[in-house]
Chains A and B, each alone.
Chain A
Amino acid sequence: MKTMSRLLAVSVLAMATAAPIANAQDLIVGFTQDAATLDPGNHRNRETETIIRNMFDGILTRDSAMSIQPELAASYTQVSPTVYDFKIREGVKFHDGSNMTAEDVKFTLDRLTREGAMGNDQTSPRKSLLGPIESVEVTDATTVRVTLSEPWPLLPAMLPFQEIVSKNFVETVGTEGMATQANGTGPFKLVDWRKGDSIIMERFDDYYGGADGIQPAGKACVDRAIFKIIPESASRVAALLAGDVHIINELPPFAVEQVKNSQTADVMTVNGTRSFFIAMNLEGETFDDIQVRQAVAHALDKDLIIDRILGGNAASISGILSPDAFGKNTDLPEYSYDPEKARALLAEAGFPDGIEVTMDTTGAFKDTAEAVASLLTRAGINTKVAVGEAAILNEKWRTQGGPKEGDMYFTSWGNGSLDPQGIFVPTHVTNARGNSAGYSSDKVDALLDAAATEVDREKRAAMYQEAEAIANADLPYVYLWVPQDIYGVSKRLSGWQPSPDSRINLHDACLN
């Protein structure tokens, strides 16, 4: 017993001194989710991409203003509507010391787009992210030519999401080996992956410096960069306040003040790319009437909700596109907050006593949906919120033309590429995957179809603007807002900017 208590005393004493140990140059990110795999070609997961993009560079990248910059490409040109030439940078090394060549770029794109190219008759789950790529050829030692089967203006916007792998390395370790080993050209190389716990990376000293268009170019600033997985937001905030981590993602709006008031940390925000909206079931007997849909739009005080519930961290929208998206129509009419008008519209539509409806949403947005529901109820649209799991609600609402039950769905759609194609088409084209409202407009379909292959940027932008104006008038959805991504950062951190596409690029981040 004596030894026991002595041991206990020693342990407690030691713990008091041993607690948070971190090297001065360990930059630690408290992050929501672990990577699914380290293979850039074998996942469909945003968080995985955020982590491994620090070890792998792409042909193209984006700067913090979201404009596209050549990264492993020195430059690129569009030769014809369906042909792009990428001039590949020379002198770039993989982490294993081998040189990156045009062959590696071709190999990577082939691996992503060819049927069965992952081995075992498997095709990369990322294939659909690269649209109609038909062939990839190495035309000379430093040039890769990508040929599309039809014009696809989205290509440059989608390439920053694809990372270049080493042909030789993949052929040596196979797709199985790629899942847990990383050999990229990025600013950090893998040290250890403690699965479910953390991914530890160290500075790659032979780094070529990164995109010329993003300064400062050069090696990474910190010795080691670590993604530490802390799924619970309150614990992430605690880790930031305790100084255990230096950046946290998805800082919950309710913790913003607490972090701002702390001595050690601060808040950074950036416009997000996810549009929130309420889908109204156009097949139902209530919302087939445009006056009822207009009543919903007028019953909502978006500014109030943005201010009170979202802490002011969101931008109001009147169409599906985020204010930063290409082709955004900035002159859309606004459905002003006017509960009296909403009641009048309901009465005109034959509902003088109001309507009873249910609004589906997922647990994460229950609070916001409740606030929306109470505003609607005040204007005669008696709304009950029903919380369900995303997988189940999506199956209920995204029926791709099949019959659907339900009144309203409070939901969202992400658009990391900020190109309208990625969000407008799936939510507004007749019978498309994410068309929860069941909207169908020949004009919008035709415009979006034509815009998909239109090479002239101005013409293309005009088409999206017109489509957005039509949808704004038809009102299949009440367009709500695009929330900002909120990060908590240590005051010791410098040189880091949050990015609208939710990447956490640690290349230029320093700790003081």
Chain B
Amino acid sequence: MSLARFIERLLQLIPVLLGVSAIVFVMITLTPGDPVEIMIGDQIVTPEQEEALRRDLGLDRPMLERFGLFLGNAVQGDFGESFYHRRPVAEVIAERLPATIELSLVALLVALFTAIPLGVLAAIKKNSIFDRMATVGSLLGVSLPGFWFGILLLMLFAVHLQILPVSGRIGFSSEIEPITHFLLIDTLLRGRPDAFLDALSHIILPAITLGLPMTAILMRVTRTSMLEVLRQDYITFAEAKGLSRHRILWRHALKNALIPTVSVAAIETGSLLGGNMIVETVFGWPGLGRLVVESIFVRNYPLVQAAVLFYAVTYVLLNFIADILYTVLNPRVKL
């Protein structure tokens, strides 16, 4: 891909982001519910005190002016101050992001490492018992509510067997000075294998819960596209040439069969990176999804706006990355 094309793709981001900002701003501002009322809660307050609070949050200004201010500041990387935390929104989001990214990546790995082999096997052994079990399994995987499945895992592994912890990212005896803020990496960089295992034991259940529906989807996608590829002429040709089955499957068929898997995985990763409110709540995982949902409930406008912008950027970028991966996997495709 040429540099000009790359820059063009990046420039396309600008109208997308402007549109997203405007929609989010209007939607959250028009949603019933008043951040000041929520903040005051069950307390007596004089109208003057209420007005003062409104002024301090900048909510006394007209909507258009607030939107202009938000855009003007956002361009400079300033997303305002969280009403609830009374700190810059960017800082609050940045604190929660590593936990979400770490969990998403581990869930993605869990999904890829189980879905691809299972999907390929199901395709090769089409209509066998294994294939049918895998199909039923994937149906279950998509349909099981994460909330229920997570609690089930907790009851089994944490309460009954007591081999895994219930919640959090790492135990309290493992204090790790952050470097990358990804605990699985930091613990290794600091030379603390005990803390690494501690962190691993914390991430395993949420990653499985989060990765399960994705595993199921990816497995079905891989199976279908593998079946399709195996019917192609060049596979028959390769077989006729006398190439080993192993070589045909893993080298010739899989590479082409993976193209749809990659694009679905990229899109699914986008939703993983948004943080998963349910998994993060069940496992007390300090990620972005929980933060954003809590912020919506208290009408924490600045945080919700910034987070949605972040989601939009992530989605666009991941689609972009998927496009590039396409060209790598299939040189005939041009961007």
- Interfacial residues, chain A to chain B (CB-CB below 8 A): 11, 14-16, 18-23, 26, 28, 33-34, 36-37, 39, 42-46, 115, 121-123, 125, 127-129, 175-176, 179-180, 192, 194-198, 200, 224, 226, 228-232, 234-235, 238-239, 241-244, 389-392, 394-396, 398, 413-415, 421-423, 425-426, 432-434
Contacts A127-B52, A395-B33 known; A228 to B168 CB distance under 8 Å? yes
A39 to B87, CA, bound (A): 11
Contact, CB under 8 Å: B32 / A39:
no
Q: Mark B77-114, 1 if CB is under 8 A from A, else 0.
A: 00000001111000010011001000000000000000
Q: Mark B26-40, 1 if CB is under 8 A from A, else 0.
A: 000001111001111
| 30 pairs of residues in contact across A and B, judged by CB atoms under 8 Å | A19-B201, A20-B171, A22-B172, A28-B172, A37-B86, A39-B86, A46-B41, A122-B56, A125-B53, A125-B56, A128-B40, A128-B43, A179-B85, A194-B286, A224-B172, A229-B284, A230-B166, A230-B284, A234-B151, A234-B154, A238-B158, A239-B166, A242-B158, A389-B33, A391-B299, A394-B33, A414-B41, A425-B44, A432-B44, A433-B37
CB distance from B155 to the nearest CB of A (A): 6
CB under 8 Å from chain A, chain B span 266-288:
281-284, 286-287
Contact, CB under 8 Å: A15 / B34:
no
B215 is an interface residue with CB less than 8 A from chain A: no
Q: Mark B189-200, 1 if CB is under 8 A from A, else 0.
A: 000001001101
Contact, CB under 8 Å: A434 / B42:
yes
CB distance from A59 to the nearest CB of B (A): 19
**B contact residues around A122 at 8 Å (CB):** 56
Contact, CB under 8 Å: A235 / B151:
yes
Most central of B155, B168, B174 by chain A CB within 10 Å: B168
A16 to B297, CA, bound (A): 39
**A contact residues around B174 at 8 Å (CB):** 21
Contact, CB under 8 Å: B166 / A128:
no
Contact, CB under 8 Å: B37 / A394:
yes
CB under 8 Å from chain A, chain B span 230-284:
281-284
Contact, CB under 8 Å: B167 / A235:
yes
A350 to B39, CA, bound (A): 43
Contact, CB under 8 Å: B283 / A231:
no
**B contact residues around A121 at 8 Å (CB):** 56
Most central of B34, B92, B159, B299 by chain A CB within 10 Å: B159
Contacts A195-B95, A395-B37 known; A20 to B165 CB distance under 8 Å? yes
Q: How big is the B interface, by class?
A: 35 or more
Q: Mark B166-178, 1 if CB is under 8 A from A, else 0.
A: 1111011111000
Contact, CB under 8 Å: A392 / B33:
yes
Contacts A128-B43, A235-B284, A238-B158 known; A19 to B299 CB distance under 8 Å? no
A396 to B174, CA, bound (A): 48
Which chain A residue shows the least CB distance to B35?
A391
B290 is an interface residue with CB less than 8 A from chain A: yes
Instruction: Among A192, A392, A413, point to the contact of B32 (Cβ < 8 A).
Output: A392
Contacts A44-B39, A391-B32, A391-B297 known; A196 to B95 CB distance under 8 Å? yes
**B contact residues around A123 at 8 Å (CB):** 52-53, 56
Beyond the given pairs A36-B84, A197-B168, 11 more chain A to chain B contacts, judged by CB atoms under 8 angstroms and listed by A's residue number, are A18-B198, A21-B174, A44-B39, A127-B52, A128-B40, A196-B95, A196-B99, A231-B290, A235-B154, A244-B166, A391-B32
Contact, CB under 8 Å: B99 / A235:
no
A230 to B158, CA, bound (A): 14
CB distance from B45 to the nearest CB of A (A): 4
Contacts A194-B169, A244-B166 known; A395 to B34 CB distance under 8 Å? yes
**A contact residues around B168 at 8 Å (CB):** 197-198, 228
Instruction: Among A36, A175, A198, A414, point to the contact of B42 (Cβ < 8 A).
Output: A414
Instruction: Among B84, B163, B173, point to the contact of A15 (Cβ < 8 A).
Output: B163
CB distance from B250 to the nearest CB of A (A): 13
A198 to B165, CA, bound (A): 15
**B contact residues around A244 at 8 Å (CB):** 158, 165-167
CB distance from A464 to the nearest CB of B (A): 15
A293 to B276, CA, bound (A): 45
CB distance from A338 to the nearest CB of B (A): 32
**B contact residues around A243 at 8 Å (CB):** 162
B316 is an interface residue with CB less than 8 A from chain A: no
Contacts A197-B168, A235-B166 known; A192 to B175 CB distance under 8 Å? yes
Contact, CB under 8 Å: B43 / A15:
no
A231 to B31, CA, bound (A): 25
A432 to B172, CA, bound (A): 47
A408 to B151, CA, bound (A): 35
Contact, CB under 8 Å: B173 / A391:
no
Contact, CB under 8 Å: A426 / B284:
no
Instruction: Among A22, A176, A242, A433, point to the contact of B171 (Cβ < 8 A).
Output: A22
Contact, CB under 8 Å: A238 / B284:
no
Contact, CB under 8 Å: B87 / A180:
yes
Top 6 nearest A-B pairs (CB, nearest first) are: A391-B33, A196-B286, A197-B286, A239-B166, A128-B49, A230-B284
